[in-house]
Structure formats: C-alpha cells, structure tokens
Amino acid sequence: MYKEKISTFQAFLTRSYVQIEKQVEMFRKFSVDYDMSHQHYKKIYLNMMAFEDLAVDAYSEGDRTKRVLSHPIAQELPVKITENIDKWRNPFKEAWMTLRNELLNIKAMMNAMAGRTSQEVLQTKTEAKQREKKLELEKMTLGKTTLKSFFKSKSKVTKDIDSYTASIQQMDVDIDQFKKLINFITIYHG
C-alpha cells in the first residue's frame, strides 16, 4: 500500500519538477526584463534633463531658473532618481528565487527517493545471497555433497561452514542496516 503511495508521489515529483523548471525560466526572464525597464526609466529621466537643458536654454535665453528638472535648486535630483530606482524591489526576482529554491527541494526529494529505491534493490540482493548461503550452509552441515564441496577436504568444508556462518551473520547486520536506512529515508522525507 505505502509503496504505491511512494510511486505516486515520485510521479508527482517528476511532473512538478518539469512544470516548476519552466516557471523558473519564465520568472528569470521576467526578472531580467524588469531590471532592464528600471534602467530605461533612469535613462529617460536623464534624457529629459538633457532635453530640458537644451530647450530651456534655447527659449529662455539661458535663464537656469526657468528649468524644472535641472534647476539649480534641484541639483540632487539625478542622484535621488538613481537612489530611488535602486531601491525598487523586483517582485519577479523574488518569485524566481523562491521557485528556484522549491526546484532544488524537489530535486533533493527526487534524489532521496532514487536513493531509497537503490537501497531497496541492494537489500533484496543481499537477502537473496543470504538465502543461497543458508541453503549451502544447511547442506554442508548435514554432510551432503554439493558442487561447491565435492572436491574439498573435510577441513576445508569445516572452514567453509565457519566462513558461511560469519557471512550470513554479517548479511543479517547489513539487512537490518538497509531496513533502518530505508525507514529513515521514508519517514524523514515522507
């Protein structure tokens, strides 16, 4: 039952990853465009000041007091415009960063699920090897001759029994560790 839920969740993650990846790219482009538009606003203000300098000079016989944007009192205006434009927050950049973070979280979850699957495969292989070794050990302890023990001396068979016993015990430990690791991945990420 829970394996079906995990499989369904993995499929959901894959679909979500593809969709969010597209959204991340879109918001990255929006963010760049938004930043560029603010730089254009700055250029427009500076160009309007330059135009005012030329137009007012031509029509007011050089009287600087007739100017609005480049009036002597408004000398700080270009600096204030630049400061204000620099203070503008880019909502698309914030959305882009948030979505990028979500994309990384989804990728981490997908990697955890893939790791869980590979651990399950390793556990299954270890359990199969353990069953084979137990069958072989059972035959050797009963004194039955097998293909593996046919050409071996009695002392070599005794050494094999000891090595098989140690190997089976180690596999028990390994299988328990696999189960703990799989449970940890399932519970921690699920």
The pLDDT tens digits of the residues spanning 6-50 come to 888 889 999 999 999 999 999 999 999 998 887 888 888 888 888
- Name the residue among 101, 89, 82 with its Cα closest to residue 43: 82
Structure confidence at residue 1 (pLDDT)? 67
Structure confidence at residue 24 (pLDDT)? 95
* Residues 16 and 106 sit within 8 Å (Cβ to Cβ): yes
Structure confidence at residue 82 (pLDDT)? 81
How many residues comprise the chain?
A: 190
Sign of CA dihedral 169, 170, 174, 177: positive
121 pLDDT exceeds 60?
yes
145 pLDDT exceeds 80?
no
Structure confidence at residue 190 (pLDDT)? 56
> Which residue carries 């938004």 as its tokens?
34
Structure confidence at residue 98 (pLDDT)? 95
Kindly state the helix (H) or strand (E) to which residue 124 belongs, with its residue range.
Answer: helix 91-141
Structure confidence at residue 153 (pLDDT)? 66
Tell which wins on pLDDT, 58 or 7.
7
Averaged pLDDT for residues 113-130? 90
Domain count for the chain: 1
Kindly state the helix (H) or strand (E) to which residue 153 belongs, with its residue range.
Answer: none
Q: Let me know if 160 is exposed, middle or buried by CB neighbors in 10 A (0-12, 13-18, 19+).
A: middle
99 CB neighbour count, 10 Å cutoff: 19
Structure confidence at residue 146 (pLDDT)? 66
| Structural domain that includes position 116 | 2-189
* Residues 148 and 132 sit within 8 Å (Cβ to Cβ): no
Q: Let me know if 96 is exposed, middle or buried by CB neighbors in 10 A (0-12, 13-18, 19+).
A: buried
Neighbouring residues of 49: CB distance < 8 A, sequence distance ≥ 6:
69, 70, 77, 78
81-90, 92-101, 143-152, range with the lowest pLDDT: 143-152
Query: Taking the model in full, what pTM does it have?
Result: 0.63
Averaged pLDDT for residues 151-160? 71
Structure tokens at 28: 């990255």
107 CB neighbour count, 10 Å cutoff: 14
* Residues 133 and 171 sit within 8 Å (Cβ to Cβ): yes
